[in-house]
């Protein structure tokens, strides 16, 4: 979705966590998507694609999915003993 090499992609899934959302303990998902150079106009399409993925793979409806988008400055992202 981001057009980045898979070698730069990191995913962390924490299953079986307690999450209360909108006064309910029904299944819900909180995601953080951080990407250098994330275009502001891409977040709506990414939100739709990610919510659809979560619904199809995990059965969690889109209205139970929150996504926090962040586009840190390159000097704030370290990797391989340096920064981007």
Per the structure, the complete domain to which residue 56 belongs is given by 28-83
pLDDT of residue 15: 87
Tell me whether residue 48 is in a domain.
Answer: yes
CATH number of domain containing 67? 3.30.429.10
Q: What are phi and psi of 21, to 5 degrees?
A: -140, 125
Interior/surface letters 35-55, b for 16+ CB within 10 angstroms, e for the rest? beebeeebeeebbeebbeebb
Give the model's confidence band at 8: pLDDT under 50 very low, under 70 low, under 90 confident, else very high: confident
Model confidence pLDDT, tens digit, residues 24-78: 999 999 999 999 999 999 999 999 999 999 999 999 999 999 999 999 999 999 9
Q: How many domains does the chain have?
A: 1
pLDDT of residue 33: 96
């Amino acid at each position: 979705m981001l057009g980045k090499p898979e070698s730069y992609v990191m995913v962390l899934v924490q299953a079986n966590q307690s999450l209360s959302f909108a006064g309910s303990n029904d299944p819900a998902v909180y995601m953080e998507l951080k990407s250098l150079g994330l275009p502001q106009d891409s977040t709506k399409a990414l939100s739709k694609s990610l919510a659809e993925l979560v619904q199809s793979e995990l059965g969690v409806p889109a209205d139970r999915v929150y996504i926090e988008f962040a586009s840190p400055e390159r000097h704030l992202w370290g990797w391989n003993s340096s920064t981007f």
